[in-house]
Chain A
Amino acid sequence: MVHVYNCHPFKSQQIVQVEQEPGLVCCGGGALFVVATGGCKVEVYNLEKEGCPLFCRFATMGTVKSIQHSKIGDYLVTIEEKNNATYLRAYTNWRYQAEEKGRVGVRLLGHLLGGASVWGGVQMEIIEIPMSERPIAVSCCPVTGDLLVGCEKTVVLFTLSRQNQQNLQNQSQQSVQNSLPNSQQSCNPSQGPTSVSHPNLSILDFERSVILHLPKMSLKQVALCGGYVAVNAELEVLVLKLEAASDPAAAEEPLETSKSAAEPPQDQDDFLLIPRHQELLESKAKDCDILVTMEKTGLEDQAQYQFSYILFRRFSPEFFQGCRVEEMQIHSLQLYPLFTSNSLEDPTCVFCFFSLPTAGYLYSLKGGVELLSAYQYPEKVLQAVMSDHLLHVITKNALQCFTVRCSAVAARMEDPYIDTTMKACPPSTLEVCALRIQLFIGLRSVCVYNQRVILLSAADTETQQEPERRCLKLKENSVLTGIFLAVGIDPATTPALENLLSRPFLSRKWTISSPKETSTVGHGWNLYVVDTVHPFTLYQEMVEYSCRYVQTTPQSHSLRHLLSEAHLLLRACLLQTPEQKQSGQGDPAVSSKPGSNGAVDKNSATQANRQELEEALRQNSAQLGDCFSRASQKDCHLALPYYKMSGLTVAEVISRNRPPPEGPSSYGLGFLFYLKLHLLEETEQHLTQEEADEIIYIFSQSEPFLLVSVCASPCMINCSATRTLQILQRLEDTAGVSVPLTIIMAAMALRLGKQQDYTELMERHAEMQLVYGFIEEPRLLLHGGGGGGGGGGGGQHSQVHPTSLARQLANTQPGLLVAAMVALHENCKVQLEQADFVFKELGCENTLLVDFWEAMLMASSQDAVIQELLFRVASVYIDRLTNSINGSGAPKYKSLKGADDLITSCSHYGALYPWLTVLNPTHSTTSEHQEALHKLQSLLCGPSLSVGSIVPLLERLSGETLWGFSLHLLCATRRGQYESSIEQLLDRCPQAIIAYANHQLQDKYMTLWWQKLLPELCKRTRAAADNGILLGALKETLVVVAMETSPAEFLELIPDDGTASYFLPHLLTCSQRHLMA
């Protein structure tokens, strides 16, 4: 369906003073080019001046059949006929043809030598481009200035080359000098006003670079834009992407494959095949039956090209109603680039438009091929042309103006945040609408330059005289009514439309400034220049309209559509940078006077303009937010991004959504969604009590089950606790008890200082239940950190703070707090660093923090976290041990978990090695000290701690005390330093040696019994023969050695000076054991 709004996109019209009947018209570079019917003369009018005065006039070489202007290179290209032959020509330097009598240079493509322009005076030059086939259509690339020429079965790409005048001069000096008998010669005055050299002026030429053969298509039109090539036959459109091939082999490939696949079945010609309707996008487009082959033409060192199919569309003739089959031909093929601030050279988007008499189609090509809009025309359309903001089409008797979706595509290319909760933009598939239908008589052709639409009309002889405006008025209204009916709306049933139709046709906005002396009567033709209003003005008009809708039917879909249209207009304005605006309007202006308009002024003006646009976008977003806040389930989520873009505060949004006093007090889904998400989003901005209370009221009315989450939001910190408690109580009464609800009620009681109520509420649930409650709503404990939803939003460590409930728990139920924090961490609701920060903020020295770490070690299964925590607790234990030695200021604390608890319930804490008990003193130190020592020893005995990492920390502890020595020894042992450990243990505490050896020297270390321990003991007993401890140890050792070695080995081990009688019994047991085995 096509919306029709009776807006006023057209501001004023002028009539161009053309003497002869115009045949062809085209525009570009600030100029309007008019070719007289059947003539060989081009008249150029200045489109940038009031009244469009004649700028210059020049002759063409033949009868012009087609003409186009290229923005890049500022040249014109024509297809001409003379004596039944067809020619292709490019006209350069046409601006210097101000004097009609000036000579015109002519040269062949590639023959750069020639013309006065080479050596001084600037002269118009015609480049003759020889073609082996008859050219049918041309197109100039708006990005590169390259030229695409379509012949019946081939398409030829000519790349534009520019040669700097200076270069060329040097190059051709030799040959030119010969023709200059006197180099001091003065310039011919008839060559124009200047004889000055133009160093910036480059001389254009073209190079034939690629030929595409399309033997199965009979070409009608071509289009070229930044590597995209579009061609169409009567009912087919094909778009290709032409690229420089990265490797030449790849460039060959498509040629080969398509050739082999190409042969059509021979008998096909015998049938009359009615082609099916087809639309093939992107890679699927290559399945179309249009064969394309590439022929390289350029020199060897030239870039190789490869092409790919990206869009194919075929219409079946019977696809249409209401139009004769012969009339069913595709016209107005266009590739349209959209440049934005981010890419001034490379267009952000490229669109492909083409039209049938009944419908137009707009595709987006870049970043995925997709059909944006299908324009269903109410009448047969002759020609259509796109501009940045609008699509203009002409029927025989009207200029119609439709909206386009280009800015919706471009905005998304530019801003990845669109379509998130941050930002929104109406979809690129939003239904298009007709803004205006303006009557003209006998329209023939249309073209667009910036904000001007140029229309050529030529009335049929019998309707030459323009009817009175009054008649027109009536006629237009009846046409409009017809259109409404055609698109399925009966204006009589839609009051707003009826109202629209009754508006005067010519509003104050439409002014006619046709000079008196040119009466349109007398000749049957006219050349109009219709100025369109600035899109911002159009935006304002739409806003005006929307106000009327707001008053009458605020729920209507039309209001949303109108505001979306308005939004896209603003986007279109914003997408264009100030720089681009300047160059867009100034082009190589026909008569730009440097310095007349300071660049600074322009900049500040566009800056102000930009601010105005941004403010408008905020207002529009607010209105769209209002629309979506009342929208249905499907779209209501859009209220959030639009309100965000509007910059409105929550309070402002609330007041916009307050239900009218007389109406039902219901709130829109979108509004509630906005509020919910806003409250979840942990902004630091605290609402006032009134605002917070209103929000609680809103939710109690609309979504009471969300109240816990709402009350837990940090924004709500100022809400009235008494009122809230009442509301929560009522919720509990109706919805039943839930843990989070109980907790939030407890928190409110706490705020009110009702300690008793608080305790009672908290005791209603077991601690484990409470922990689950906190997992459900983490903001009961923590504020900040990106909220409870996503758990900190992907690794960024935002700060979190404990709530007052958390503070209360720290004092009264630290175990619960620690358990809850561990649970939150394990459920990814809080990160370790954030939790650390919370505990630090809670004070309590750092005991609660260490309790948290120990609890984490018990509960966590995340390896990376465990290693970090093991190191942290180990260093804490070491700190505690050093502090307790220093004695002074040793804090009194009681850990939640003792060493024994940890050893039994946490796998990272190992059982203490038996030999440690020999070393550990009993009751010699404080219990804190003992606790820390045991925990550290236990960690060292456990499987997880990487001993190496804490060695540097352990160095702070002296080994003088036995417990200190035990830790060093544990470390050394864990690191496999058994031999030195054995020596040290024998030095410091020989009574522990057998316990140590029994525990440590096993399996592959068994040999140490006789390789290290036995010789060591022998040595030491020899020195102190009366040492009972050492002798006992020696004896125990011999028992083990005798068990583990063969008699021969045992004999070897006995020291030479050993007393035989001492060793003999052991040797005996050894031999007996051996014999038995």
Chain B
Amino acid sequence: MTTKTSLLKVILLGDGGVGKSSIMNRYVTNKFDAHLFHTIGVEFLNKDLEVDSRQVTLQIWDTAGQERFRSLRTPFYRGSDCCLLTFSVDDHQSFLNLGNWKKEFIYYADVKEPEKFPFVVLGNKVDVTERQVSTEEARQWCQENGDYPYYETSAKDATNVAVAFEEAVRRVLAAEERTVHLIPTDTVKLHRKPRSAAACC
């Protein structure tokens, strides 16, 4: 009767201050607030959207980038359908850390086939004039690490934010299509092989 909506979990990772929360806010409420609270632990927002005439509920997870919040955020990596690795183009260190974020994600999310997992890379704050990371540098990193799509965004003036999320959704749906073809039936009996839920760390 009703078309089944799929719920997609997308997680934003990256150093503190690169603008993850701002990007999420821009996307969901279309607002930019220069005085956003710093994120502690983990928060999420849902957004319904239609991509290629499919009803999708996007569950966007925002995390705290600081090292001391690691134990609060990592338990929630599990079950992500897509990871948005974020850096700020005016902060070279945040770019250098992308690799670490990817590693942390793959480790805690318990991704079975990391090569096939859909990552999207965001270079935020393109509105600022003093860039420390060039577009080429970033493109190259994406190329080398698994051919990830790269978007230069600005939460402040809304550049590319929606486009990036839509791309993320497409990536996930594409990945799903592949797996659906692999598994002949989707009636997996849960009680036969109970998978342990998020384990405490």
CB of A115 within 8 A of CB of B43, answer: yes
Which chain B residue lies CB-closest to A126? B44
Q: Does B182 contact A (CB under 8 A)?
A: no
Contact partner of A132 (CB less than 8 A), chosen from B33, B72, B196, is B196
Residues of B within 8 A of A43 (CB): none
Which chain B residue lies CB-closest to A120? B37
Which chain A residue lies CB-closest to B63? A106
Residues of B within 8 A of A131 (CB): 196-197
CB of A111 within 8 A of CB of B191, answer: no
Greatest chain A CB density within 10 A among B31, B66, B196, B200 is at B200
* Contact mask for chain A residues 177-196; partner B; CB cutoff 8 A; 1 contact, 0 none: 01111000111111100000
CB of B7 within 8 A of CB of A114, answer: no
Give the complex CA separation of A46 and B46 in angstroms: 22
* Contact mask for chain A residues 185-218; partner B; CB cutoff 8 A; 1 contact, 0 none: 1111111000000000000000000000000000
Pick the interface stretch among A55-63, A399-407, A729-737.
A55-63
CB of B194 within 8 A of CB of A133, answer: yes
A108 touching B72 in the complex, CB below 8 Å, given contacts A82-B79, A83-B79, A523-B1 = yes
Pick the interface stretch among A84-92, A346-354, A419-427, A892-900.
A84-92
CB of A128 within 8 A of CB of B75, answer: yes
Residues A98-114 near B (CB distance < 8 A): 100-109, 111, 113-114
Residues of B within 8 A of A185 (CB): 35, 37
CB of A179 within 8 A of CB of B43, answer: no
CB of B59 within 8 A of CB of A59, answer: yes
Pick the interface stretch among A34-42, A377-385, A428-436, A1040-1048.
A34-42
Contact partner of B1 (CB less than 8 A), chosen from A21, A84, A109, A188, is A21
Contact partner of B59 (CB less than 8 A), chosen from A61, A88, A123, is A61
Residues B150-201 near A (CB distance < 8 A): 188, 190-191, 194-200
Residues of B within 8 A of A102 (CB): 45
A84 touching B29 in the complex, CB below 8 Å, given contacts A63-B7, A106-B41, A114-B40 = no
Residues of A within 8 A of B78 (CB): 85
Contact partner of A101 (CB less than 8 A), chosen from B1, B4, B28, B194, is B28
Q: Does A480 contact B (CB under 8 A)?
A: no
Greatest chain A CB density within 10 A among B5, B28, B42, B45 is at B42
Q: Does A176 contact B (CB under 8 A)?
A: yes
Q: Does B76 contact A (CB under 8 A)?
A: yes
Q: Does A686 contact B (CB under 8 A)?
A: no
Q: Does A551 contact B (CB under 8 A)?
A: no
Q: Does A813 contact B (CB under 8 A)?
A: no
State the Cβ distance, A726 to closest chain B Cβ, in Å. Answer: 89
Contact partner of A175 (CB less than 8 A), chosen from B35, B36, B68, is B68
CB of B198 within 8 A of CB of A103, answer: no
Q: Does A880 contact B (CB under 8 A)?
A: no
Q: Does B2 contact A (CB under 8 A)?
A: yes
Contact partner of B197 (CB less than 8 A), chosen from A39, A87, A152, is A87
* Chain A at the B interface: SS class: loop
CB of B57 within 8 A of CB of A115, answer: no
CB of A104 within 8 A of CB of B43, answer: yes
A134 touching B197 in the complex, CB below 8 Å, given contacts A61-B59, A83-B79 = yes
Residues of A within 8 A of B29 (CB): 101, 190
* Contact mask for chain B residues 141-153; partner A; CB cutoff 8 A; 1 contact, 0 none: 0000000000000
Residues of B within 8 A of A114 (CB): 40-42, 72
CB of B197 within 8 A of CB of A130, answer: yes
CB of B43 within 8 A of CB of A103, answer: yes
State the Cβ distance, A962 to closest chain B Cβ, in Å. Answer: 106
CB of B1 within 8 A of CB of A104, answer: no
Which chain A residue lies CB-closest to B195? A85
CB of B33 within 8 A of CB of A61, answer: no
CB of B72 within 8 A of CB of A113, answer: yes
CB of B33 within 8 A of CB of A188, answer: yes
CB of B41 within 8 A of CB of A107, answer: yes
CB of B7 within 8 A of CB of A62, answer: yes
Give the complex CA separation of A116 and B37 in angstroms: 8
Residues of B within 8 A of A187 (CB): 37
CB of B41 within 8 A of CB of A128, answer: no
Residues of B within 8 A of A63 (CB): 7
Contact partner of B44 (CB less than 8 A), chosen from A104, A188, A189, A190, is A104
Contact partner of B7 (CB less than 8 A), chosen from A82, A101, A123, A186, is A82
A190 touching B46 in the complex, CB below 8 Å, given contacts A63-B7, A85-B79, A107-B41 = no
State the Cβ distance, B44 to closest chain A Cβ, in Å. Answer: 5
CB of A85 within 8 A of CB of B43, answer: no
Which chain A residue lies CB-closest to B40? A114
Residues B34-54 near A (CB distance < 8 A): 35-38, 40-46
Give the complex CA separation of A38 and B66 in angstroms: 36
* Contact mask for chain B residues 59-74; partner A; CB cutoff 8 A; 1 contact, 0 none: 1011010101001100
Q: Does A173 contact B (CB under 8 A)?
A: no
State the Cβ distance, A98 to closest chain B Cβ, in Å. Answer: 15
Greatest chain A CB density within 10 A among B36, B37, B79 is at B37
Q: Does B9 contact A (CB under 8 A)?
A: yes
Give the complex CA separation of A102 and B37 in angstroms: 13
Give the complex CA separation of A39 and B76 in angstroms: 20
Give the complex CA separation of A185 and B40 in angstroms: 15
Q: Does A20 contact B (CB under 8 A)?
A: yes
Give the complex CA separation of A109 and B72 in angstroms: 10
A188 touching B76 in the complex, CB below 8 Å, given contacts A106-B43, A523-B1 = no
Q: Does A118 contact B (CB under 8 A)?
A: yes
Greatest chain A CB density within 10 A among B33, B75, B197, B200 is at B197
Which chain B residue lies CB-closest to A133? B194
Give the complex CA separation of A133 and B1 in angstroms: 34
CB of A128 within 8 A of CB of B198, answer: yes
Contact partner of B62 (CB less than 8 A), chosen from A21, A59, A103, is A103
Give the complex CA separation of A59 and B190 in angstroms: 24
Residues of A within 8 A of B9 (CB): 61, 82
Give the complex CA separation of A717 and B200 in angstroms: 85
State the Cβ distance, A583 to closest chain B Cβ, in Å. Answer: 33
Which chain A residue lies CB-closest to B68? A175
State the Cβ distance, A493 to closest chain B Cβ, in Å. Answer: 48
A115 touching B41 in the complex, CB below 8 Å, given contacts A101-B28, A108-B72, A152-B191 = yes
* Contact mask for chain A residues 151-190; partner B; CB cutoff 8 A; 1 contact, 0 none: 0100000000000000000000001101111000111111
State the Cβ distance, A149 to closest chain B Cβ, in Å. Answer: 11
Which chain B residue lies CB-closest to A186? B35
CB of B76 within 8 A of CB of A111, answer: no
A39 touching B72 in the complex, CB below 8 Å, given contacts A84-B195, A130-B197, A132-B196 = no
Which chain A residue lies CB-closest to B38? A179
Residues of B within 8 A of A186 (CB): 35
A180 touching B41 in the complex, CB below 8 Å, given contacts A85-B195, A86-B197, A152-B191 = no
Residues of B within 8 A of A40 (CB): 5, 7, 46, 57, 59
Give the complex CA separation of A115 and B2 in angstroms: 35
State the Cβ distance, B37 to closest chain A Cβ, in Å. Answer: 6
CB of B188 within 8 A of CB of A188, answer: no
CB of A130 within 8 A of CB of B198, answer: yes
CB of B31 within 8 A of CB of A190, answer: yes
Give the complex CA separation of A181 and B38 in angstroms: 9
CB of A87 within 8 A of CB of B43, answer: no
Closest 6 CB pairs of A and B: A114-B41, A59-B46, A134-B194, A106-B42, A103-B43, A130-B200
**Sample of 9 further A-B pairs with CB below 8 A, known A21-B2, A62-B7, A113-B41:** A40-B7, A82-B79, A85-B195, A103-B45, A106-B44, A106-B76, A179-B40, A186-B35, A523-B1
> Residues of B with Cβ closer than 8 Å to A?
1-2, 4-5, 7, 9, 25, 28-29, 31, 33, 35-38, 40-46, 57, 59, 61-62, 64, 66, 68, 71-72, 75-76, 78-79, 188, 190-191, 194-200
- 29 interchain pairs (CB within 8 A)? A40-B7, A59-B44, A59-B57, A62-B7, A82-B79, A83-B79, A85-B79, A85-B196, A85-B198, A86-B195, A108-B198, A108-B200, A111-B71, A113-B41, A113-B72, A114-B40, A114-B42, A116-B40, A128-B75, A128-B198, A134-B190, A134-B195, A134-B197, A152-B194, A179-B38, A180-B38, A188-B37, A190-B25, A523-B1
